[in-house]
Amino acid sequence: MLDDFLTLTNAGLFASLNFAGYLCGAIFTMFLKDINTKVKYFRIGIFLSIFTTIIMATTTNELSWYISRILAGFGSGMVLIIGGSLVMLKINYANKTKAMGIHFTGIGTAIVLCELISQYVLSEHTWSDAWMVLAIYAFFTSIYVVYILSFDKEVKKNTPKHKISRTLFTPYVVLLVFAYFTEGVGFVVQGTFLPDIINSLEGLDGYGGLSWLVVGLAGIPSSIIWMRLAHNHGSVNIIILAMSLQIVGILIPTLTSDIYLNLLSGALYGSTFIALVALFMNLGGQMSAKNPVILMGAFTTFYGIGQVVAPLYSVKLISMHGGYDTTLYLTALIVFVGIIALLFTRRLENK
């Protein structure tokens, strides 16, 4: 789409609007108090995700795209947060950390399948055709999900309601939330621009799609592996390690145009950003006890703020400096500040 239709500035703006919608969805989910309502809005989120994909396929009107990106973000926020909390409530495994690791493999699997579908369609057709095929694919894959994430009639008769308690937001939790904000920044720069970053490097034009495929492949097993490590070594310790590796991946394109190292950058990104979503969401859900959506929503709200801010400063710095290096340096620094915040949480744990 960058080659055929979009400017880089528009791409950044559309991404920012998408994440602004995601932020609104995250905030909205925090005020849903019973299971029935959560299930209803989870289904609404799926509908919005599919409907807005169809809009991308059927029009090039910029206003329609602006609105659709906001609605798409709102829908995906509800799908990720409410869906994750429903899964956490439904599973009966004693070790929910490992089980949630399996759940979050869906993100990497979806990236791989969407990339393969897109590249297949694009080989013979247009980007609008690719959007439509993805919408059809999303519709059919969502049918079973909508069915399985529901609750039986006995639960519906006695739907528990939970209030938001300020006592949840201790200094420890506030630092975790801030760290997840910095991870929102770390996620979105590569999530928005990685294929173009790779294509912009000397001798690597055309490898951007391959790098995104590597992101998905690396992401499929990542949440299982990292969640198992979190179970054995503590969630915060493993989050610090994952964010440190993410910084390495962010900086690689600024240091070299070697194809293998830059594919490694994609692998480090894919294997960390999905795992970090799983690690933070699982940690927030477990600390919230019987109403996991509260801290999961709080975490995602500040993650969403980072997602909104990052594309805006990225586009500005790219236009000022004519490349991605300055943006990547600043992004790596912000993620590093998040690691510092996490080191302080370990001190609070030891008190």
Please give the structure tokens belonging to residue 259.
């194809």
Task: Give residue 136's pLDDT.
Answer: 93
- Alpha-helical segments (H) within 91-207: 96-103, 105-122, 127-148, 153-157, 171-200
* Nearest residue to 183 via CA among 332, 311, 7: 332
Task: Give residue 293's pLDDT.
Answer: 61
Task: Give residue 154's pLDDT.
Answer: 47
Per the CB < 8 A criterion, the answer to whether 14 and 69 are in contact is yes
Mean pLDDT, each 10-residue run in order, the chain (351 residues): 72 82 81 80 92 90 88 88 77 62 78 86 87 92 82 51 59 89 89 86 86 88 87 89 95 93 93 87 71 69 84 86 91 95 80 54
Per the CB < 8 A criterion, the answer to whether 61 and 128 are in contact is no
Radius of gyration of the chain measured on its C-alpha atoms: 20
Task: Give residue 189's pLDDT.
Answer: 84
* Residue ranges covered by each domain of the chain: 8-346
Task: Give residue 12's pLDDT.
Answer: 77
Q: Which CATH code fits 8-346? A: 1.20.1250.20
Task: Give residue 349's pLDDT.
Answer: 66
Task: Give residue 340's pLDDT.
Answer: 95
pTM of the model: 0.77
